Structure 1
Amino acid sequence: MILEIKTRERIVKQNENEEKKCQFDKEIKLIRQACVFGSAGNEVLYATENDEVFVLGMNCSGCLGTGDMQSTIEPRRLDSLCGKKIACLSYGSGPHVVLATEEGEVYTWGHNAYSQLGNGTTNHGFVPCQVSTNLVNKKVIEVACGSHHSMVLTSDGEVYTWGYNNSGQVGSGSTANQPIPRRVTSCLQNKIVVNIACGQMCSMAVVENGEVYVWGYNGNGQLGLGSSGNQPTPCRIAALQGIRVQRVACGYAHTLVLTDEGQIYAWGANSYGQLGTGNKSNQSYPTTVIVDKDRVVEIAACHSAHTSAAKTQSGQVFMWGQCRGQSVTFPHLTHFACTDDVFACFATPAVMWRLLSVEADDHLTVAQSLKKEFDNPETADLKFLVDGKYIHVHKVLLKIRCEHFRSILNNDDEIIEMSEFSYPVYRAFLEYLYTDNIRLPPEDAIGLLDLATLYRENRLKKLCQQTIKQGICEENAIALLSAAVKYEAQDLEEFCFRFCINHLTVVTQTQGFADMDHDLLKNFISKASRVGAFRN
């Protein structure tokens, strides 16, 4: 009775865990966009396929936008952003968040000590608020954040900045903080900008003819101007004359650009080898980075990290710089399929360098397709009748997967009655042929072990033994030991014997021990005596 209750409790708990896992898997599959951010990678924002927006994490400076500063491990819904399709997102070190919708609206929230939210104050923003000053009738298509300043790019190629400006990073010509968005003019006045990026305290813009303009802090040569002096207004990088740049990416204090020919140039800080030049010397001029013979199609860097990454046309992903605390001075080929994984696994902190978009994948692998078709009456061509219940299967799969069926199945078979094994056992066996896994409580796994022995399925036999080991307890130890002896599962027999010896007092008081086969009892006592189980 006790054994039956424990088994039932185990099955109930297993079912509850499976239900929770299924629910979690369903929620994960709904996610279409996500960003892990914050000074330690402790904040998350994600959007679902229904355009609902959720956040969770530490909530430093109210950066989750929930209206308070309470941390949460349960996702909380941001009602003010739900229904608004997110186009792009960036974050600062405070952190503060800048988000643009597909309609071109800009929302900000979080840390605001330097007016990086663009609302004209220095009060932290605990909920997302739209930034409209000077952006009315403007459609924002790209956003970028430095440590405490913000920058946006409009559809007509204009750049607006605001926030911290101690080094001229907002490009206004002064070092006064800028509380609201102002258009960056000077050399960009009559230029159409196509791409923007921010380092910790510097800003970059690529214009449509491939020129790169830079401004802000330059202490490590990250502006690529050949000097280390700060630049309060945009200045063209003369060393890239004749080179058409497509994209720019900024690390903490280093810069990468990608040309229209698929080449990378880098400059700035290099104490971790983040320039990929093979040494750790800073560079104030653009330097060629040799990644691979293949054309590079994507570059990646993040203003909070000293890590660099690139993806080639053939899909290879390389990384260099600070990787898990180590310095990698040359581009290193990884096993990753995307640059996002480089920052998730190797950057410090482990944050995302961009808003990650997740495409819905409806494609099923061969294994997934087979699993889905198990016991499907619509496609099956054979039924097993066990204990009055049908199990629907496919002859060709059974023949491919099991030697036993290859020899007994005929093409004209439609129903086969099975009386040697119980319904749970035989169903678990057939399901195993479709999935390579078994789902049975330890007591039923004994019957499956019998079947595996009869059908000479050695891998299934090992899986049964693993299941039995995981479910052994004082009440069923003798029964499992008896099964191991009967089916000549020596490894399992030794495991059960050791368990019985380690719990000898309780095991000898169970009903299973009282009903033990005479020969088995005799052998058990003899073996237990040899290992000293009865010594005082």
Structure 2
Amino acid sequence: MARSATEIIDINLFQDDFKNMDQKFLPSVVSIISIFICENYKPKKQFLLMTKDATYAYGEVICSSLSLEHDMTKPQRISLLNDMKIVQVDSGYDFVTILTEDGRVYLASNNSNWKTNNAFRLINTGNDCFKMIACGVRHLLLLRQDGHVFAMGDNRVGQITGNEKSSYESMINTGIANVKLIACGGDHSFSITNKEEIYSWGPNSYGQLGLSDKEISSTPCLVSFPNDDSINIRIKEIVAGDQHSLFLFENGQLWGCGYNYNGELGLGNRRSKLAKIPIGNLQQIKCSKIHNFSLAYDGSSYYAWGKTKYVKWLLPKKLDGHPTSFASASVQVLNSPITFGLTSTIYEFGSHDSISYKSIIELLDNQDNYDVKFIIDKKDIKACKCYLKSVSKYYCRMFSGNWNENDQVIINNYQYETYYAYLRLLHTGKIQINHQNITELVDLANCYGDESLMEYCATFIRNDLDEQTMPKYLPLINKYEMIELYEKLAHLYKNQNQQSSSSSKRTKFS
């Protein structure tokens, strides 16, 4: 299935990338996708920016690929994509591909081989509808809704299977069927069937295909894992870098194979053979075809390994500073953030004192310095009672009297991510509010008597409130008597009545 925007990022992460942009435009952005397109063999970071009804290009190379004028102060609207619902974005060295909700695939490139004529080219014609795409550096895989896999692009090392010459104009039927998921590394590819079988093909110089040999395979071959208890569990996800591959199982175990000189596999050595990586209970994994590192998330912490801006981490390293997304985690590995597919953007509310922030944040979820645990969904958040009492009247009451000796607090009414965001607010003065946590945060602000949090929530709702979102927010506004939003509601009701009246008149006299 196509991947939706599950990664929620703070748009302020990209303030250096967007420092020359008209700042009035940024609040309208609902999704940021960073892509790398090569120019003169050098990858350059470019962006696709989405608002509620349009998609924009930002960057000299991507604009050139679409016959748009590059302006550092103003992203360029891609008129072809107006009002299109985009569900997946991926890119190779010199092309970017998007998949729409109705199964159409568009490709743009600065490479003449793709014959895009400096515009987004519709790849699929006729009745073909696709549910997933995956890009290698020089080839593209397309998963049709019936489970058949098609390929396009370079085929010098078996990227699109068979003995066909490179095919940039038409899709090649790979013959692979009954597939539910596809993935690409640099030039190698994977598919997972509905029977949980994993097939790989392409170059294999470093064992990135997970096969017993290191020969190029232009025919999909079945990947066999060593005998291990975790292998009886279903595969959850496959991601691949330029020449390495990672396999995440449903039980949180992670396996890897391929190029490992920089520690891309996180094994603590430089072996390339398929092996289990010493980290468990993972929920998500990410890696880049451009950079030699990998990232993982276990539900509460982010980990990284491979080549970083500092040194090579041969083993998974837990990242400091409590990253809130893979994009924010990437900042600790690279010099600037990158995204991994579609994202949803949020804005941080509040501010903090940069001097005291670094010391205070150490009081949150610190294994060596805590006296209370908040237990949520079998996970815990560690904190210090004394500090919480000093910044919150609610916690001051909670940890007084009979509660003073309690070292565990069970939280049943809020999700882990929501409660962590609130505790982070108390330690940093900043909170990330999004569509997923707004309802719980309003309730928490009301229950805990936190006026600052309620003000931040009201600001978020006010900025997002329109005719489309009013049905969602109206019950929330009424339940918690958010009177500061009544004026905005009245304005929306007035507009609706005027539009209804105009429509009635047109109907009457038509």
Change (3 A) 1:366 1:351: closer
In the other structure, the counterpart of 2:343 is 356
Confirm or deny that 1:146 pairs with 2:144.
Answer: no
Secondary structure at the counterpart of residue 279 of structure 1: coil
The verdict on how the C-alpha distance between 1:69 and 1:236 changes in structure 2, with shifts beyond 3 A counting, is: farther
Give the structure 2 partner of residue 31 of structure 1: 29
Highest relative contact order (Cα 8 Å, sep 6+), 1 or 2? 2
Q: Aligned partners of 1:274, 1:349: CA distance in 2, in Å?
A: 19
Are the equivalent residues in 2 in contact too, given 1:87–1:141 (CA < 8 A)?
A: no
Residue of 273, 276, 296 corresponding to 1:288: 276
Determine which of 324, 329, 333 is the counterpart of 1:337: 324
| Equivalences for residues 333-482 of structure 1 within 5 A | 333-334=318-319, 335-347=322-334, 351-358=338-345
Unpaired runs of 5+ residues, structure 2, are 1-17, 353-392, 394-428, 430-510
1:347: how far off? 4.1
Q: Name the CA distance, whole Å, in 1 between partners of 2:276 and 2:174.
A: 29
Q: Is the 8 A contact 2:58 2:70 kept in 1?
A: no
Q: Report Cα offsets for 1:288-328 as digits up to 9, x if no partner.
A: 11224xx2110111212211111113x21111111115211
For residue 297 of structure 1, what is the amino acid of its counterpart? Answer: Q
* 8 Å contact kept, 2:252–2:283: yes
Q: How much does 1:138 deviate?
A: 2.8
State the shift of 1:51 in Å: 2.2
Residues in 2 aligned to 1:78 and 1:142: alpha-carbon distance in whole angstroms: 22
Are residues 1:52 and 2:50 paired? no
Q: How does 1:76-475 map to 2 (within 5 A)?
A: 76-93=76-93, 95-113=94-112, 115=113, 117=114, 123=115, 125-133=117-125, 136-171=126-161, 173-174=162-163, 176-179=165-168, 180-185=170-175, 188-189=176-177, 191=178, 193-239=179-225, 242-283=232-273, 286-292=274-280, 295-313=281-299, 315-324=300-309, 326-334=311-319, 335-347=322-334, 351-358=338-345
What's the secondary structure of 1:320's corresponding residue? Answer: strand
Q: 1:199 to 1:325 in 2, by over 3 A?
A: farther
Q: CA offset at residue 60 of structure 1?
A: 5.9
Q: Tell me the number of residue pairs that the alignment of Structure 1 and Structure 2 aligns.
A: 324
The residue identity in structure 2 corresponding to 1:267 is C
CA distance in 2, matches of 1:142, 1:255: 19
From the superposition, tell whether residues 281 and 347 of structure 1 become closer, same or farther in structure 2 (CA, over 3 Å): farther
- In structure 2, relative to structure 1, the CA distance for the partners of 1:73 and 1:167 (3 Å cut) is farther
- Quote the offset at 1:342 in angstroms: 3.1
Question: Contact 2:327/2:337 (CA < 8 Å) preserved in 1?
Answer: no
Q: Which has the larger radius of gyration?
A: 1
Q: Which residue type is aligned with residue 29 of structure 1?
A: P
Question: Does the 8 A contact of 1:305 with 1:349 survive in 2?
Answer: no
Contact 2:244 2:259 in 1 (8 A): yes
Q: Percent identity?
A: 24
Q: Find the aligned partners of 1:364 and 1:167 in 2 and give their Cα distance.
A: 50
1:236 CA drift (Å): 1.0
For residues 340 and 194 of structure 1, what CA distance do their matches in structure 2 show? 27
Report the aligned-residue RMSD: 2.9
3-state SS of paired residue (1:126): coil
TM-score (norm 1): 0.56
- Name the residue aligned to 1:389: none
User: SS at the partner of 1:267?
Assistant: strand
With over 3 angstroms needed to count, the CA separation of the structure-2 counterparts of 1:27 and 1:62, relative to structure 1, is closer
Amino acid aligned to 2:255: Y
**Are residues 46 and 282 of structure 1, via their aligned partners in 2, closer, same or farther at CA, if it must alter by over 3 Å?**
same
Measure how far apart 1:269 and its partner are: 0.2
In the TM superposition, residue 124 of structure 1 has moved relative to its aligned partner by 5.0
- What CA distance in whole angstroms lies between the structure 1 residues aligned with 2:104 and 2:279? 38
What code does the residue aligned with 1:308 have? S
The C-alpha deviation readout for 1:105-146, integer Å capped at 9, x for no partner, is: 111111334x4x4xxxxx35411121124xx32332221111
Q: Would the aligned equivalents of 1:197 and 1:204 in 2 still touch at CA under 8 Å?
A: yes
Query: CA shift at 1:348, angstroms?
Result: 7.9
Contact 1:112–1:125 at 8 Å: present in 2 too?
A: no
Distance 1:25 1:291, change over 3 A: farther
One-letter code aligned to 1:235: C
Q: Matches of 1:336 and 1:289 in 2, distance apart?
A: 22
Q: Following the alignment from structure 1 to structure 2, what is the Cα–Cα distance between the partners of residues 266 and 366? A: 41
> What's the counterpart of residue 470 of structure 1?
none
- Say which SS state the counterpart of residue 201 (structure 1) adopts: coil
- Separation (CA, whole Å) in 1 of partners of 2:71 and 2:218: 38
Closer, same or farther in 2 for the Cα pair 1:364/1:68, shift >3 Å?
closer
Q: How many angstroms apart in 1 are the aligned matches of 2:211 and 2:110? A: 31
The answer to whether the 8 A contact 2:107-2:116 is kept is no
Distance 1:103 1:305 in 2: 32
Give the drift of 1:244. 2.2
Q: What's the secondary structure of 2:328's corresponding residue?
A: helix
- Structure 1 residue runs of 5 or longer lacking an equivalent are 1-19, 118-122, 368-399, 401-435, 437-536
Match of 2:30, as an amino acid?
R
**Cα–Cα, structure 1 residues 111 and 150, in superposed 2: closer, same or farther, change >3 Å?**
farther
Deviation at 1:41, TM superposition (A): 4.0
- Displacement of 1:68: 4.9
Report which stretch shifted further, 28-37 or 79-88.
28-37
* Distance in 1 of aligned mates of 2:145 and 2:50: 24
User: CA 1:332–1:61 in structure 2 vs 1: closer, same or farther (change >3 Å)?
Assistant: same
Displacement of 1:73 in angstroms is 4.7
Task: Please say if residues 327 and 338 of structure 2, whose CA atoms lie closer than 8 Å, have aligned partners that are also in contact.
Answer: no
Other structure's SS at 1:29 match: helix
User: Match of 2:287, as an amino acid?
Assistant: A
Question: AA paired with 1:127?
Answer: A
Tell me the secondary structure at the aligned position of residue 80 of structure 1: helix
Contact 2:326 2:339 in 1 (8 A): no
Q: Deviations over 1:185-213 (max 9, x none)?
A: 1xx33x2x222111111111122232211
3-state SS in 2 of match to 1:239: coil
Displacement of 1:344 after TM fit? 4.5
1:479 maps to none
Amino acid corresponding to residue 59 of structure 1 in structure 2: V
Match of 2:485 in 1: none
Instruction: From the superposition, tell whether residues 80 and 348 of structure 1 become closer, same or farther in structure 2 (CA, over 3 Å).
Output: same
Deviation string, structure 1 residues 9-52 (Cα, Å, up to 9, x no partner):
xxxxxxxxxxx99x96653232222111124343111101x221
